[in-house]
Amino acid sequence: MGIGRSVAFALAVASMAALAGCGEGPSAPPDAEAASRNLQPADPALAAIYQRSCASCHTVAATGAPLTGDEGAWSPRMDKGMDTLLDSVVNGFGGMPPFGLCMDCDAAQFEALILFMASGEPNGA
């Protein structure tokens, strides 16, 4: 009986350690969050939209959004293709509300914002 308990205890400790390790995964290191807050599109009109609509989530790791400039988080998204990503923004996707909170944005603006966020480059390159 004593042995069974200590095995259970060891398993509990091991699984807690595994969970703790999870929080430090490569998807959202604290540096990526700080770095994302220093980035914005070069175009002033696009920067204004980005600041009021997208940045509130895409610079905050706790929202679950891929962070601006975090190429590791964006590359599997970009692999879906731009048409799919535009659909995700327009219709909403997971924790993201429809239109990413920019109701008057058009597809070209969404595409420019996506290219900027995925690359972290002010010109979306």
Q: Is 40 in the site for ligand HEC (CB under 6 A)?
A: no
Query: What's the distance, CA 43 to chain centroid?
Result: 22
Binding mask 65-104 for ligand HEC (x = CB under 6 A): xx----------x--x---xx--xx---xxxxx--xxx--
Do residues 65 and 96 touch, judged by C-beta distance below 8 A? yes
Beta carbon nearer to ligand HEC, 3 or 108: 108
Residue ranges in 51-70 that form contacts with ligand HEC under rule CB under 6 A: 53-54, 56-58, 63-66
Beta carbon nearer to ligand HEC, 15 or 51: 51
Binding residues with ligand HEC: total (CB under 6 A): 27
Residue type, 92: G
Do residues 32 and 42 touch, judged by C-beta distance below 8 A? no
- Please tell me the distance from the alpha carbon of residue 15 to that of residue 29, in angstroms, as a whole number: 21
Could you count the other beta carbons within 10 Å of the beta carbon of residue 85? 20
Residue type, 21: G
Q: Is 25 in the site for ligand HEC (CB under 6 A)?
A: no
- Please tell me the distance from the alpha carbon of residue 65 to that of residue 54, in angstroms, as a whole number: 10
Residues that bind ligand HEC (CB under 6 A): 53-54, 56-58, 63-66, 77, 80, 84-85, 88-89, 93-97, 100-102, 105, 110, 113-114
